[in-house]
Amino acid sequence: MRKRSRSDPEERRSHILDEAIRIVGRHGYHGFTIQQLAQVCGMTNGGLLYHFPSKENLLVAILEERDRRDAAIVPQDVDLSARDCGSDSGYALSTVRSLLRAIVARTVAEPELARLHAVLQSEAMAPSHPAHGYFERREAMVLEEFAAMLTGHCRDPRSAARQTLAMIDGLVQQWLRANGAFDLIAQWDAAAAAILPASSAHD
Amino acid sequence: MRKRSRSDPEERRSHILDEAIRIVGRHGYHGFTIQQLAQVCGMTNGGLLYHFPSKENLLVAILEERDRRDAAIVPQDVDLSARDCGSDSGYALSTVRSLLRAIVARTVAEPELARLHAVLQSEAMAPSHPAHGYFERREAMVLEEFAAMLTGHCRDPRSAARQTLAMIDGLVQQWLRANGAFDLIAQWDAAAAAILPASSAHD
Amino acid sequence: MRKRSRSDPEERRSHILDEAIRIVGRHGYHGFTIQQLAQVCGMTNGGLLYHFPSKENLLVAILEERDRRDAAIVPQDVDLSARDCGSDSGYALSTVRSLLRAIVARTVAEPELARLHAVLQSEAMAPSHPAHGYFERREAMVLEEFAAMLTGHCRDPRSAARQTLAMIDGLVQQWLRANGAFDLIAQWDAAAAAILPASSAHD
Amino acid sequence: MRKRSRSDPEERRSHILDEAIRIVGRHGYHGFTIQQLAQVCGMTNGGLLYHFPSKENLLVAILEERDRRDAAIVPQDVDLSARDCGSDSGYALSTVRSLLRAIVARTVAEPELARLHAVLQSEAMAPSHPAHGYFERREAMVLEEFAAMLTGHCRDPRSAARQTLAMIDGLVQQWLRANGAFDLIAQWDAAAAAILPASSAHD
DNA sequence: GATGAATGAGGCTTCATTCAT
DNA sequence: GATGAATGAAGCCTCATTCAT
Q: Is the CB of A56 under 7 A from strand F?
A: yes
- To the nearest whole Å, the CA of D28 is away from the closest chain C CA by 7
| Percentage of residues of chain B with pLDDT beyond 70 | 85
Chain-chain contact of B119 with A115 (C-beta, under 8 angstroms): no
Q: Residue B89: pLDDT band by 50, 70, 90 thresholds?
A: low
Would an 8 Å CB–CB cutoff place D115 in contact with chain C?
yes
Q: Which nucleotide is nearest to D8 (CA to C1')?
A: F1
Chain-chain contact of C26 with D190 (C-beta, under 8 angstroms): no
Q: Is the CB of D40 under 7 A from strand E?
A: no
Residues in chain A: 203
pLDDT tens-place string over residues A2-40: 444 456 778 889 999 999 999 999 999 999 999 999 999
pLDDT value at residue B2: 41
Contacts of D30 in chain C (CB under 8 A): 27-28, 30-31
**Phi, psi angle pair for D168, to nearest 5°:** -60, -55
pLDDT value at residue A7: 66
Q: Residue A159: pLDDT band by 50, 70, 90 thresholds?
A: very high
Nearest residue to B37 via CA among B23, B56, B25, B27: B23
pLDDT value at residue C86: 47
Residue A183 clears pLDDT 80, i.e. is over it? yes
Lowest mean pLDDT among B92-106, C111-125, D63-77: D63-77
Q: Residue A97: pLDDT band by 50, 70, 90 thresholds?
A: very high
- To the nearest whole Å, the CA of C75 is away from the closest chain D CA by 24
Alpha-carbon distance of A108 to A128, in angstroms, equals 31
- Provide the mean pLDDT of chain C: 88
pLDDT tens-place string over residues C123-180: 999 999 999 999 999 999 999 999 999 998 989 999 999 999 999 999 999 999 999 9
- To the nearest whole Å, the CA of A169 is away from the closest chain B CA by 6
Q: Residue C7: pLDDT band by 50, 70, 90 thresholds?
A: low
pLDDT value at residue B116: 98
Among chain A residues, the shortest Cα distance to B183 is held by: A159
Alpha-carbon distance of A91 to A102, in angstroms, equals 15
Chain-chain contact of C165 with D169 (C-beta, under 8 angstroms): no
Residue B88 clears pLDDT 60, i.e. is over it? no
Among chain A residues, the shortest Cα distance to B135 is held by: A177
Q: Which nucleotide is nearest to D30 (CA to C1')?
A: E15
pLDDT value at residue D197: 80
Q: Identify the chains in contact with D, defined as 3+ C-beta pairs within 8 A.
A: C
User: What's the average model confidence in pLDDT over D154-169?
Assistant: 96
- The DSSP-derived string for B175-187 is HHHTTS-S-HHHH
pLDDT tens-place string over residues D169-202: 999 999 999 999 999 999 999 999 999 987 654 4
- To the nearest whole Å, the CA of C84 is away from the closest chain D CA by 29
pLDDT tens-place string over residues D20-74: 999 999 999 999 999 999 999 999 999 999 999 999 999 999 999 999 998 876 5
pLDDT value at residue B7: 66
Strand, helix or coil at A154?
strand
Interchain touch D–C (≥3 Cβ pairs closer than 8 Å):
yes
pLDDT value at residue C10: 84
Question: B90 vs B10, which has greater pLDDT?
Answer: B10
Strand F-proximal residues of C, range 8-67, CB below 7 A, are: 32-36, 45-46, 49, 53-56
- Provide the mean pLDDT of chain A: 88
Would an 8 Å CB–CB cutoff place B167 in contact with chain A?
yes
Residue D76 clears pLDDT 90, i.e. is over it? no
Instruction: Output the 3-class SS for chain C.
Output: CCCCCCCCHHHHHHHHHHHHHHHHHHHHHHHCCHHHHHHHCCCCHHHHHHHCCCHHHHHHHHHHHHHHHHHHHCHHHHHHHCCCCCCCCCCCHHHHHHHHHHHHHHHHHCHHHHHHHHHHHHHCCCCCCCCHHHHHHHHHHHHHHHHHHHECCECCHHHHHHHHHHHHHHHHHHHHHCCCCCCHHHHHHHHHHHHCCCCCCCC
Among D28, D162, D176, select the one facing C30 at the smallest CB separation.
D28
- The DSSP-derived string for D154-168 is BS-HHHHHHHHHHHH
Alpha-carbon distance of C173 to D125, in angstroms, equals 9
Residue C73 clears pLDDT 60, i.e. is over it? yes
Residues 6+ apart with CB under 8 A from C7: none
Instruction: Output the 3-class SS for B127-173.
Output: CCCCCHHHHHHHHHHHHHHHHHHHECCECCHHHHHHHHHHHHHHHHH
Residue A198 clears pLDDT 90, i.e. is over it? no
Q: Is the CB of B56 under 7 A from strand E?
A: yes
pLDDT value at residue D3: 43
Q: Residue C106: pLDDT band by 50, 70, 90 thresholds?
A: very high
Within the 53-112 window of chain B, which residues sit less than 8 Å (CB to CB) from chain A? none
Would an 8 Å CB–CB cutoff place C190 in contact with chain D?
yes
Alpha-carbon distance of C140 to C48, in angstroms, equals 33
Residue C107 clears pLDDT 70, i.e. is over it? yes
Domains and CATH numbers, chain B: 1-65 (1.10.10.60), 74-203 (1.10.357)
| Percentage of residues of chain D with pLDDT beyond 90 | 74
Residues in chain B: 203
- R_g of chain D computed on alpha carbons: 20
